[in-house]
Amino acid sequence: MSNEPSSRLISSLRFFSQVAAIFTTFVGCLVLVGWILDIAPLKSVFSGLVTMMANTALAFILAGVSLWLLQPDPSHSALRIPQSLIDDPQSTIRHRRRRLAQGLACIVALLGLLTLGEYLYGWDLGIDEMLFRATPGTVGTSSPGRMAHSSALNFLMLGLALLLLDVETRRGHRPAQVLALAAAAVSFVTLTGYAYQAKFLYSVGAYTQMAVHTALTFIILSIGLLFARPDRGLMALIASESVGGGAARRLLPAAIGVPLVLGWLTLEGQRAGLYGTEFGTAIYATSMVVALAVLVWWNTGTLHRRDVERRRAEGIRALVASIAESSDAIINMTLEGIIISWNKGAEKIYGYSAEEMKGRSISLLFLPDRPDELPEILERVKRGEVVTEYQGVLVRKDGAQIDVSLTISPIKDASGEITGALCVARDMTERRRAEEAIRTLNEELEQRVIERTAELEATNKELEAFSYSVSHDLRAPLRAIDGFSRLVLEDHAPHLDAEAQRFLTVIRTNTKKMGDLIDDLLAFSRLGRKDLHKSIVDMTALARSVVDELRDESSRPVEVTMEPLAPALADSSMMRQVLANLISNSLKFTRPHPHAAVTIGCRHGGHGTIYFVRDNGVGFDMQYAHKLFGVFQRLHSQEEFEGTGVGLALVQRIIHRHGGRVWAEGKVNGGATIHFTLARGGEGPDEA
C-alpha cells in the first residue's frame, strides 16, 4: 500500500482549506456588519454571551484573505510539485499574491502582539477602539473594545503560521502546522468551556473573555491552515494512503468528538437531576469503554480488510510479474482462440512479439495439416475441461517446428461462466533432445556393462584356472621336496650327523608352512566367488562346536567363557570359518599367559548384533590396528607365533560380504578383542 497521499484526498483537503478561508472572512465581515449596524446577535450570537470585538473581526478578515491568497495554483493541486517551483518569483501575479498574503499575515500577527503587550504592560495603544467605540461594561470585557488575551495569542500564532506556511526544516517539520495546532488547542479549550459551562476554561480573572463564535472561527481557520499543505509535514502522514494514515483519519475525529459528546450528555443529565455525581461518572466511564471498544473493533475490521486487500493486490502483482517474466509461454485468449495477452516467454518460444499476436488467432501456431487439433481443444475448454500436458508440435515464426507441452484451462468470471482460456506452453524440444541423448548414452552404457561383465567373467575364469594351476604346480615340487626329505631321514639317518638331520627337518617344516600358505591363499581367492547361502544360524552351538574341536587339538588348559549368542542370518560355513579363525587366534596368543582366558559373547547394537571374541593374551599396540586385517600383515614374528597372516583378512572379507564390519581393540600384554557385526537381514553395515 502506497504511503503517498491520493490526489483525490489532497484535492478534498485543499478544498476544505479554501472553504475555511471563505468562512473566516465571512464571519469577520458579518461581525463588522453587526458593529456597523449595531446588531447584537451578529456580534455575540446569543444575548448574555461575550461579544466578538471589531478588531478581532478585522483580523479574521485579514487572516481569511491571506489564507485564500496562499492557496496553491489549482493546476498543480493534484501534483507533488515543490512549492518553490509553484511560487516562482518570475511569475508576477503569483509573486504579488504571495507578497500581499504575507503582508496581511504580518498585520494579523502584529495586532495580536500589540494586544498582548497591552495586557502585559498595561499600555493603551489605541488599537482597541480603532474602528468602533465599545459600550462600557460589555459582558466579559476588561477594557472597551479589547480582544481577549487568548484571541491575541491565537492571532500572533496564526499570523506567524501564515508567514511560515511554506517553511520546512531539514527534518521535514513545518513550524506553521505546529502553530496552527497550538491555536486550535487554545480555541478547543475555550469552546469546551462554553459547552460544559465551565467558565474557568474561557475566562481568566478580569481579562476579556474569548467569544464562542470567535473560538469556533479560530478552530476552522486553524484546520484550514493545516489543510492548505496536506501533503507536507505532519499532515502528510494523516493524509497518506498508508495504514497509519487511514487509522488516523478514522480515529482522530472519534477521539475528539466521542468524549466531548458523552461528557456533555452525562453533565446535562446530572444538571437535570436525573442522577447523582457517582452514577453520572459511572455512566460516563461505561459509555467511554463501550465507545472505545466499538472504535477498536471498527478500526480492527477496517485494518483487516485493508490487509486482505493488500495481500490480494500483492498476490495479483506477483502473479502478473511471474506471468510476464515466466520462461513458459502464457497466453490469454478468448474461447474462439483470439489472443488477448502474450508474455515474454511466448515471444521467446514462438518468435512473435506481443504486438504481432494480440488480436490474432492462436491457430497461426498450429500445423496446417492438422486443422481439427485446435477446435477440439477449444471445444473441451468450453465444456469446462482442463487440457493438461497435451503433447503437440507447433510452428515458430521462422517456420521451425517445435515440440511443446500444452496446458489449457478455462477462465471463469465471478458468476462461474467460462469467458476465456489460459494456455501455458513449455518448449519440450531441448528436453526431447536431452532425453534422446540420455537414451543413447544409456544404451551405450548398457553395452559397455555387458562387454565389461563378459571381460570380468573371462578374467575370473582365467584367475580361477590360474589358481588351480598354481596350486597344482606349486604343490608338486613341494610334495617332492617333502617326500625325498622324509625318505633321506628314514633310510639314511644312521649315516647322517645331527646337523644334517636338523637341516632336513627344517626343510620339511618350511615345506609344510608353504603348503599351508598356498591353502590359505586359495581359500582367500575363492571366498570372493563363493555364493552366500544364508539361513538362521545358531551362533551359540556353532561357537561351542568350534571350541570343542580346538580343545581336542590342544592339551593346554584354557578357561573359555561362552555367553549366549544371538542367532544370525548368515552363511553357516562362513560363520564357522570366522569363529574358528578368531578363537584359534585367541588360543594361540594366550600361550605365554599362565592362566589363559577366552570370552565369546555379543550385545545388541543400533542396527543389529555385535559379536566379540576376547582374550587376555599378548595383545597389540593400537597404532598398528589397521594392519591386522591385511593379507600377510603380522604384528608378531614367526618365531613367537606361527601363522600365515591371512586368517584375519579372511574374517574381514566374510563379514563384509554379510554387510557387517569388523574391528579390533587391544593393549600390549593386556589382551585383545575382535568385534564383528551382522546386520539384520544381512543388509547394510551395522554400527557399534
Distance, CA of 682 to CA of 659 (rounded, Å): 6
How much helix, strand and coil, in percent to the nearest 5, is found in the chain? 60, 10, 30
Distance, CA of 673 to CA of 430 (rounded, Å): 60
Asked if 503 contacts 493 with a C-beta cutoff of 8 angstroms, the reply is no
Whether the predicted pLDDT of 119 surpasses 80: yes
Amino acid at 381: V
Q: What value, to the nearest 5°, has the Cα angle with vertex 56 and ends 50 and 62? A: 150
- Fill in the DSSP letter of residue 597: E
Whether the predicted pLDDT of 83 surpasses 90: no
pLDDT tens digits, one per residue of 138-148 = 555 556 777 88
Collect contacts of 233-239 with beta carbons under 8 A, ≥24 apart.
233/168, 233/172, 233/173, 233/174, 233/177, 234/173, 234/174, 234/177, 234/178, 234/181, 235/13, 235/174, 235/177, 236/5, 239/5, 239/9, 239/10, 239/13
Which is it for strands 559-562 and 534-537: parallel, antiparallel or unpaired? unpaired
The phi, psi pair for 581, rounded to 5°, reads -65, -45
- Fill in the DSSP letter of residue 127: -
Whether the predicted pLDDT of 548 surpasses 50: yes
pLDDT tens digits, one per residue of 319-366 = 666 666 677 888 888 989 899 888 888 888 888 988 888 899 888 888
Per-residue pLDDT at 171: 83
Asked if 647 contacts 662 with a C-beta cutoff of 8 angstroms, the reply is no
In this structure, the dihedral spanned by the alpha carbons of residues 261, 264, 267 and 273, taken in order and rounded to 10 degrees, is -90
Distance, CA of 594 to CA of 86 (rounded, Å): 113
Partners of 537 in the β-ladder: 568
Rg (CA), the chain: 54
Distance, CA of 614 to CA of 590 (rounded, Å): 11
- Fill in the DSSP letter of residue 400: -
Q: What is the pTM of this model?
A: 0.49
pLDDT tens digits, one per residue of 145-172 = 778 888 899 999 999 999 998 888 888 8
Q: What percent of the chain lies above the pLDDT cut of 90?
A: 17
Arithmetic mean of pLDDT over the chain? 80
Distance, CA of 323 to CA of 328 (rounded, Å): 8
SS3 406: strand
Nearest to 575 by CA among 602, 628, 538: 538
Per-residue pLDDT at 223: 93
Cell of 222: 486553524
Per-residue pLDDT at 40: 82
Distance, CA of 276 to CA of 255 (rounded, Å): 26
Distance, CA of 127 to CA of 111 (rounded, Å): 8
Asked if 346 contacts 330 with a C-beta cutoff of 8 angstroms, the reply is yes
Distance, CA of 13 to CA of 429 (rounded, Å): 60
Distance, CA of 389 to CA of 356 (rounded, Å): 26
Distance, CA of 145 to CA of 54 (rounded, Å): 7
Per-residue pLDDT at 76: 44
Q: What is the largest CA-CA distance in the chain?
A: 173
Asked if 209 contacts 148 with a C-beta cutoff of 8 angstroms, the reply is yes
pLDDT confidence of 686, banded at 50, 70, 90? Answer: very low
More confident residue, 389 or 664: 664
Half-sphere exposure of 99 (CA within 13 A, CB side): 8
More confident residue, 49 or 657: 657
Distance, CA of 71 to CA of 258 (rounded, Å): 32
Per-residue pLDDT at 473: 59
pLDDT confidence of 281, banded at 50, 70, 90? Answer: confident
Nearest to 13 by CA among 22, 5, 2, 24: 5
Nearest to 584 by CA among 452, 482, 674, 477: 674
